[in-house]
Amino acid sequence: MECLFVQLRILTKKVLSCNFRNDRVTDTSSNNKRIAKNTMLLYFRMILTMLVTLYTSRVVLNTLGVEDFGIFNVVGGIVVIFSFLNLAMSSATQRFLSFELGKKNLAQFARVFSMSINIHALIALIIFVLAETIGLWFVNTHLVIPTERMVAANWVYQCAILSFMVTVMSVPYNASIIAHERMGVFAYISILEVSLKLLIVFILQWLTFDKLKLYAVLLLIVSVVIRVIYGIYCKAKLEGCQYVWVKDKALFKILSSYAGWNLWGNLAGVGMDQGVNILLNVFFGPVVNAARGIAYQVGAAIHLFVANFQVAVNPQIVKSYASKDYDYMYTLIYKSSKYSYYLLLFLSLPVFFETEYILNLWLGEVPNSAALFTKLVLVAVLIDCLSGSLMAGAQASGRIKVYQSVVGGLLLLIVPFSFFGLKLYGDPIVPFYINIIVLIIALFCRLLILKNLIKLSIYKFLEQVLLPVILVTVLSVVMPYYIKSLFNISFFRLMLISLATSFSVLCSIFIVGMTKGERAFILNKIRHFAK
């Protein structure tokens, strides 16, 4: 794993820095070094978080039981449904803060920061009202929850509301840290966060209070503590992050208009996720929600590797657009998409081939269908990771009306299609297949839109991204598939397949997944390291 990170750091520096005009070499090199450094810091944060999450998920599942774990998953998901309001404004805040820094306009940055706090306070109030009316009614009348656990479910729901409001108010501060590319802050504060969450696990085992209620309350306390720490850091260390009352109708209109179109896209994303979760609860009960929750935890843990890389790259995409350095922006989009996929493939293939054994090793008691759900979630995550930089490119342009309308509309169709699929087939696996199909269609729609939006070349994306990742994927699965057919399920086979997938993925990337210049760079680095 350490070897992979070293290679990724080398590749990040190289592949994002080649083929630029001479007058931009210095700035580009500096930007690429910053991206590489921030990526490594975010990986440190992510590995620590993932290790604690893997351990705590097992303990929490065993402590709460499958039924209570499913209740926690679906009830908390009701609050997340209202996050489309916050996600819309979050994207707007991130884009405009990065844009103003790209233009080196600190005065306007400070105004955007203060105005975004005002808007997020309004969003938190709206979410509170919606959650305590429509959401509360839905939880108590439509979710499939055992009668004796309804009181505990309401505890979870109220804590989730408060925790989510805290998260909403944290957005401007976190967006400022990302815009300033201070990724080390996330790494350091995450040490405290995961330590507190680890402490929660032990408290659950020590105290005899209702475990589900206690778990919800403790998570709320942790979210409040972390929010306060981020706020203190931003006010003390980042210029322009001191809140002042701003009354600027023009700025409010610009931010809210941009967020308005994001609203549709984020409503679709949340609806796609939590809408399907609710459908599974209504059709099959909380046990299936528990299986789906496990599958998405695995997918989220692996996707964090890619998400952290893209978090480090995306501010540079926005800043490049703001400074009209379009060639650099295109290169960042192509390279980020391609290497995000490679990294995810490297990590997900062993899990894909050995899902059943890994889940048993991790959880002990595995909910039915969790293994199959996990495999399909991994496929969906692989497809979706190709779109991360495309979305950043669209956000950078500021013209997102068509993008959000088309892509958001496609993603939102997953919910009604899943409903009819469940009605027709009665199989909980149907929504997962529908999700994969729609994500593929959405990828090509994004390319068509970005061709007109930022003049992104579809041909170059197909040539430099899609074709290499398909070839690498096909070549990488041959060896582990053959090994799996030779041995019975065991820890030995897990280790053998892990080694085989690592070898086949890295070789495939080197042979067919890199350009000639990238291969030459890697060989030179190997020779230099050998000396």
Confidence bin at 521 (pLDDT 50/70/90):
confident
| Residues in contact with 8: Cβ distance below 8 Å, sequence separation at least 6, in sequence order | 39, 309, 339, 343
- Among 409, 531, 522, 471, CA closest to 8: 522
Kindly tell me the sign of the dihedral angle through the C-alpha atoms of 202, 203, 206, 211: negative
Main-chain phi, psi angles of 354, to 5 degrees:
-125, 35
Written as one string, the DSSP assignment of 341-403 is HHHHHHHHHHHHHTHHHHHHHHHSS--TTHHHHHHHHHHHHHHHHTTHHHHHHHHHHS--HHH
| Residues in contact with 310: Cβ distance below 8 Å, sequence separation at least 6, in sequence order | 336, 340, 388, 389, 392
Higher-confidence residue: 244 or 77?
244
| Alpha helices, DSSP H, located in 271-285 | 276-284
Confidence bin at 20 (pLDDT 50/70/90):
very low
The tokens of 144 are what? 């499939």
pLDDT of residue 15: 40
Higher-confidence residue: 186 or 287?
287
- Among 264, 304, 300, 248, CA closest to 96: 248
**Annotated domain spans of the chain:** 2-530
Helix (H) or strand (E) holding 158: helix 150-179
Q: How confident is the prediction for the chain on average, in pLDDT?
A: 77
Written as one string, the DSSP assignment of 228-258 is HHHHHHHHHHSTT-S------HHHHHHHHHH
CB of 346 closer than 8 Å to CB of 423: no
Hey, which of 22-36, 306-320, 412-426 has the most confident mean pLDDT? Answer: 412-426
pLDDT of residue 9: 46
**What is the DSSP code (8-state) at residue 271?**
I
Hey, which of 65-79, 173-187, 254-268 has the most confident mean pLDDT? Answer: 173-187
* pTM of the entire predicted model: 0.65
| E-assigned strand segments in 110-240 | none
The tokens of 417 are what? 């299609």
* C-alpha atoms less than 13 angstroms from C-alpha of 451 in its C-beta half-sphere: 12
pLDDT over 90 percentage in the chain? 6
- Among 254, 277, 263, 307, CA closest to 409: 263
CA distance to 22, 97, 148, 160, 229, per residue, from 173 (Å): 36, 11, 41, 21, 10
pLDDT of residue 32: 58
Q: Does the pLDDT of residue 390 top 90, yes or no?
A: no
Q: Does the pLDDT of residue 84 top 60, yes or no?
A: no
pLDDT of residue 474: 92
